[in-house]
Structure 1
Amino acid sequence: MLFLARMDVTFPESMTDEVKADFVAKEKEYSGNLQRQGKMQSIWRVVGEYANYSVYDVEDNDELHAILSGFPMYPYMKIKVTPLAKHPNSIR
């Protein structure tokens, strides 16, 4: 099943730069592993925002929820998920 997820990150103002840097490093490792496993098909930055769009290829809603809630920044994310279906005009 394919899903499009938009993730917006908002850190508390009180969070130090060092803690933020640690979160960024952990996120990079986690998302890299998802990409190597083929679970995260692509990831795109939203220009001018601390946000991204990602496409996931997973077995079901429960697997997607487990993946999304496993992100280190999850407590600071607002996530919107859209299920995707093949478009009849797609040539792929």
Structure 2
Amino acid sequence: MLFHVRMDVKLPRDLSAEEAVEILAREKAYSQDLQKSGKWRHIWRIAGQYANVSIFDVTDNAELHEILSGLPLFKFMDIEVMPLVRHPSAVRGDDS
């Protein structure tokens, strides 16, 4: 199943520089592993915001929830999820 996910990050002002560096490194490694596995299909930064739009390709809602709640930055995020279904007017049978 494909999901469109918007993630807005709101780091707390009192987060120390050391904590921020550590959590951001874990977030990058986690997300890149998921991208390499094909679960996190696409990621785009939203210009001018600490936010991204991503496409996930997972088995079901439960798997997506597990992945998102495992994000090191999860507790600092507002997340919006939209399930996707291929449009009948699409000229391609895949997302190329």
Q: Which runs of 5+ in 2 are unaligned?
A: none
1:59 aligned partner, one-letter code: T
Task: Compute the displacement of 1:40 (Å).
Answer: 0.4
Partner secondary structure for residue 19 of structure 1 = helix
Give RMSD over aligned pairs. 0.7
Query: Identity over the aligned pairs, expressed in percent?
Result: 50
* Mapping of residues 6-45 of structure 1, within 5 Å: 6-45=6-45
Structure 1 length-normalised TM:
0.96
| Distance in 2, Cα, partners of 1:62 & 1:41 | 17
Q: Deviation string for 1:46-79 (max 9, x for gaps)?
A: 0000000110000000000000000000010110
Corresponding residue number in structure 2 for 1:65 = 65
* Structure 1 segments unaligned to the other structure (5+ residues): none
Other structure's SS at 1:24 match: helix
Aligned counterparts of 2:90 and 2:23: Cα–Cα separation in 1:
37
**TM-score w.r.t. structure 2 length?**
0.92
3-state SS of 2:33 partner: helix
Match of 1:79? 79
The structure 1 segments of at least 4 consecutive aligned residues displaced by more than 2 Å after TM superposition are none
